[in-house]
Chains A and B, each alone.
Chain A
Amino acid sequence: MKIRKITEKLAESVLFSSSTVTTVAVLFIIYFLFKSGIGLFNVSPLEDGYTLGIHRKNPVKELKSKQIKDIFNGDITNWKDVGGKDMDIVLFTLDELQSAYTEEQLGADFENIPACINDYVSKNEGVFAFFESRYIDTNFSGSRIDVSNVSLSEFLNGREWYPTSAPVAQFGVLPLILGTLLVSFMAILFAIPIGLITAIYMAEIASDRMRNVMKPVIELLAGIPSIVYGFFGLVVLVPTIQKVFNLPVGETALAGSIILAIMALPTIITIAEDSIRSTPVSLKEASLALGASHWQSLSRVVLPYAKSGIMAAFILGIGRAIGETMAVLMVTGNAAIMPSSILEPVRTIPATIAGELGEAPFGGTHFKALFALGIILFVITFIFNSLVELLKSKK
């Protein structure tokens, strides 16, 4: 008697601790995600350890990161376009230093670099210099340009994603958010009807032989690595879409959503079918006995009974679609532009994180921006799941 009690207690504590560990691990990951991501808004998009300097007489004090990008890109060439005097902008980086001064002037151990930079900046009134902060001369004659921190609205409303652009990176995620929503939404649109129809067919209509063939085949789909789907998409689906719609380029949001729909199908079909089949036979028989046809009992009795299971199937399938990375990375073209139709390339959030996190300097601005993207993805999924829960509880 006593031993049984102890075993029960022991089992209880094992159950308790494993679920606690899981919850804590999930919370820890969320904490890590938010901690790394929110750090983005405390840093300047200016490359770490670098300074932007201008001539002392130049009235410009502060520039937006987009203006700086346009200047270094050659799109803005006159100071009057950014609120200064009417004079040409002379760009200056360490590379120009090597052509403007001889090795001797720079010094054998480059000890004269600060003096040379100072010299160059003081001689050119239109100069816009970009150099490492440690080369600032003790009596630097120019003034420094401040770059404001990345703001939340800039981040969410920005339309340009150039995370490695020098001297200032551009972190505008709007095209990425819209790209993710577009691809996922289209995938859901394809996957849910097809998944539901197939599940109903397999559970209610298909003969046992047919079912025994179809079910394993569909379940097999779930075991294929996503990179295989991606490659299939790139060499088969992409050229087909290009031909069918007569497009200049086949890597489109449509290709991504079709691949995602195919990947979400096994989850949706398997779970939906199981829940349809778990409807008690007595319910169905009662419906048939009352004179309802097969279709009537299916739509009025069986499906309403299996509703919550079908909903769960949708949520799990959609979850897979929104977070899927590799396959989408390969077929959507990854151009960070505002999507205007499903027949254009898009860049999704998971593809961006996967493509860039490996090379982003640990703890740097780019790294933090990618975690901030992770937060956005988390919030999207969270909102979506809550919506479905809400719908479920209302009905």
Chain B
Amino acid sequence: MILALVISILIPAMTNAQKVVCKVKGSDTCLPLSQKFAEVYNKNNAGSGISVVGGGSGVGIAALLSSTTDIAQSSRKMKMDEKMKLQDAGKAVKETIIAYDALAVIVNSSNPVSQLTREQLEGIFTGKISNWKQVGGPDMKIIVYSRETSSGTYEFFKEHVLNKKNFAASALLMAATGAVVQSVSQTKGAIGYVGLAYLEKDIKALKVSYDKGKTYVAPNVDNAKNKTYPITRPLYYYYVTASESKFKSFISFILSKEGQNIVLAEGYVPLS
């Protein structure tokens, strides 16, 4: 989060000198990806200047409404009331999926548990299951790590894994994804969730099942790509249809093979 903040301050400052062609604003999850897109595109197309700012999905969409950005990047689908507000303002909005992001459920590498069902995950993260032996592991207390309540990742996990139920009050709320990885790697009974790009050797990613234990799917780029891994979310660009021509070549660059290779290299899941 702090890194994203620093970057979001630095990037506009760096690109201000160039001729600004368009502005991308919103989700911090999309931020590293959009920055890479902009960096490569600006380098390849002299005279163009695409600036990228973070702030959160909600902030980006609000900026689209107030015309302070050209493109809103979002890690969630536009909410119904946001759609209505844009419609009231007379703005027809176009939605483009630029990539996918998968959330992996992680545990300490010494934990013998390697797979869980959605129902078990719900029980663990809402506090109804509190010991690893209840899900086939050793007799050890489960320590739940989560992101802060204001993060988009928190909302997504709550909606798609916990069925909109609240996290357990005893869940440890970490300010950044890096802190979740650090804590899970040094706490034996820990469980947490992070984006695919954050997976590393010190932590173990669990296979999850969304069909009550019939099939378990491992979180990796291939499974997210062929849509068998369930905790996957699309990352969106939203823009006003009328001004599309202004940055059409940038969008088609993102959707091109070259753009999607950047997606893969940055640890996200390409479209096809």
Interface residues in chain A, defined as those with a beta carbon under 8 Å from any beta carbon in chain B: 69, 72-74, 94, 109-110, 132, 160-166, 175, 227, 234-235, 238-239, 242, 248-251, 329-330, 333-337, 345, 347, 355-356, 358-360
Contacts and interface: CB of A to CB of B under 8 A. Distances in A.
A150 B41 CA distance: 51
19 contacts: A73-B126, A74-B163, A110-B87, A162-B149, A234-B182, A234-B183, A238-B186, A239-B186, A248-B188, A249-B172, A251-B183, A329-B175, A334-B173, A335-B171, A355-B148, A356-B150, A359-B148, A359-B150, A360-B150
B152 to A, nearest CB: 9
B13 interface: no
B187 A249 contact: yes
A308 to B, nearest CB: 40
Interface of B: 2, 56, 80-81, 83-84, 87, 126, 140-141, 143, 148-151, 155, 163-166, 169-175, 179, 182-183, 186-190
B143 A110 contact: no
Given A251-B172, A335-B170, 13 more contacts: A110-B84, A162-B169, A164-B155, A166-B164, A248-B143, A249-B172, A250-B186, A330-B179, A334-B172, A334-B174, A336-B169, A355-B173, A356-B150
B189 A249 contact: yes
The 9 A-B pairs at the shortest CB distance, nearest first, are namely: A359-B150, A333-B172, A248-B141, A334-B173, A249-B143, A164-B149, A239-B186, A248-B189, A337-B170
A339 B164 CA distance: 27
A105 to B, nearest CB: 15
Contacts of A336: 169, 173
B160 to A, nearest CB: 12
B187 A250 contact: yes
Main secondary structure of the interface of A (DSSP, over half): loop
Contacts of B172: 249, 251, 333-335, 345
B141 A132 contact: no
Contacts of A132: 81
Nearest to A354: B175
Q: Among the interface residues A72, A162, A238, A335, which one has the most CB atoms of the partner chain B within 10 A?
A: A335
Contacts of A235: 182, 186
Contacts of A333: 172-173
A160 B187 CA distance: 25
Contacts of A164: 149-150, 155
B95 to A, nearest CB: 16
A94 B166 contact: no
A241 to B, nearest CB: 11
B215 to A, nearest CB: 25
Contacts of B183: 234, 238, 251
Contacts of A69: 166
Contacts of A160: 169
Contacts of A110: 80, 83-84, 87
Contacts of B151: 359
Contacts of A165: 166
A330 B169 contact: no
Contacts of A335: 169-173
B42 to A, nearest CB: 29
A359 B169 contact: no
Contact of B175 (A94, A162, A355): A355
Nearest to A166: B164
Q: Among the interface residues A164, A166, A235, which one has the most CB atoms of the partner chain B within 10 A?
A: A164
A115 to B, nearest CB: 16
A206 to B, nearest CB: 38
Contacts of B155: 164
Nearest to A235: B182
Contact of A109 (B80, B87, B150, B165): B87
Contacts of B187: 242, 248-250
Given A110-B84, A163-B149, A249 B190 contact: yes
A249 B56 CA distance: 31
A359 B183 CA distance: 23
Contacts of B80: 94, 110
B87 A359 contact: no
Contacts of B163: 74
A74 B165 contact: yes
Nearest to A172: B169
Contacts of B188: 248
B169 A337 contact: yes
Contacts of B182: 234-235
Contacts of B190: 249
Given A234-B179, A345-B172, A248 B140 contact: yes
A251 B144 CA distance: 12
